[in-house]
Structure 1
Amino acid sequence: MRDARVTLVTLGVTDIARAARFYETLGWVRTDQGNDKVIFLQGEGLVLSLFGLQDLADDASLPLEALPRFRGMTLAINLSSEAEADRLFALACEAGGVPVKAPQKVFWGGYSGYFADPDGHLWEIAHNPFFALDAAGRLDLLNQPKDPA
């Protein structure tokens, strides 16, 4: 189980400085690691890496191709309330994110919305009343409170 974790997410971006400013506005903290081609930002239990898009393609030995608007993947930030989801969604949009779907009550009983960062990476902002977050705001589905029913 120790290998079943994500410790770092790398996003290919067209402007590293702009992307760093965007994520710092959302609360990510820039570290001293990195260089002029990559910036590392610390979050709660995860590091976000911002890498030039062409450099990332080169590093993976893949050709750089046009990116579709929907890439078949989202990143998600779960929050403790609908109000917190609204707050972070608004902050992301004010910082240069593109609103895709405003936060709203959804079919599965929660509350969520989507924005794209300045490079089109899709983020879900959600409040899931069925998933309790710990005191640090982390999601641990193996240690959820038991339903008394």
Structure 2
Amino acid sequence: MSVPARVSLATLGVGDVARATAFYSSLGWRLSPASVPGVVSFFHTAGGLLSLITTDDLAADAGLPARIPPANPATDFRGTMLAINVESRTAVDEALRAAVQAGAALVKAGSAADWGGYLGYFTDPDGHLWEVTHNPGWPLDEAGIPRLP
């Protein structure tokens, strides 16, 4: 048997589930009724689901010690990044602007990439890094998922 090549659920450990839920809701993301207020939130995306749970609860569920939170969650890099691919350079700038209006910190404004695309970065209120990118070599399907060769 092999491990299926799919991401069904991406879970972010957060400091406050209600605050994080409000942030992602303000981006216009659809909250699932399967969510448990203040405990865990699930958001529908064009791909897998996004869930939010406290960092301590996530560590406990995995049987790991609780992680010391970063000194500055908005700027301390965690070694991971999530990406949102969009259809144009203009859409990158619009999404970054909307994220900042919702409470995100702009890490890098939209700019041309050496590989021919256009991208920018923001962090959510808990410091999770998100890239918003337009890659002209990766057309998006009807759900907004990049089609790779």
The TM-score with structure 1 as length reference comes to 0.89
> Quick one: which of 135, 140, 149 aligns to 1:128?
135
Residues 114-149 of structure 1 deviation map (CA, whole Å, 9 limit, x = unaligned) = 10100000000000011110122111214xxxxxxx
Equivalent position of 2:34 in the other structure: 33
Percent same amino acid at aligned positions? 49
> Quick one: which of 44, 49, 52 aligns to 1:50?
52
Q: Is the 8 A contact 2:92 2:119 kept in 1?
A: yes
Q: Is the 8 A contact 1:100 1:115 kept in 2?
A: yes
> Quick one: which of 84, 88, 107 aligns to 1:81?
88
- After superposition, the CA RMSD in angstroms is 1.6
Distance between the aligned counterparts of 1:59 and 1:121, measured in 2? 20
Runs (4 or more) in structure 1 with deviation over 2 Å come to 65-68
State the SS of the aligned residue for 2:60.
helix
Distance between the aligned counterparts of 1:21 and 1:127, measured in 2? 26
Shift of 1:78: 0.5
How many residues are paired up?
142
- Would you say 1:63 and 2:65 are equivalent positions? yes
Distance between the aligned counterparts of 2:94 and 2:140, measured in 1? 17
Distance between the aligned counterparts of 2:56 and 2:84, measured in 1? 27
Distance between the aligned counterparts of 1:51 and 1:6, measured in 2? 18
The TM-score with structure 2 as length reference comes to 0.89
**Amino acid paired to 1:83:** T
State the SS of the aligned residue for 2:92.
helix
Shift of 1:28: 1.6
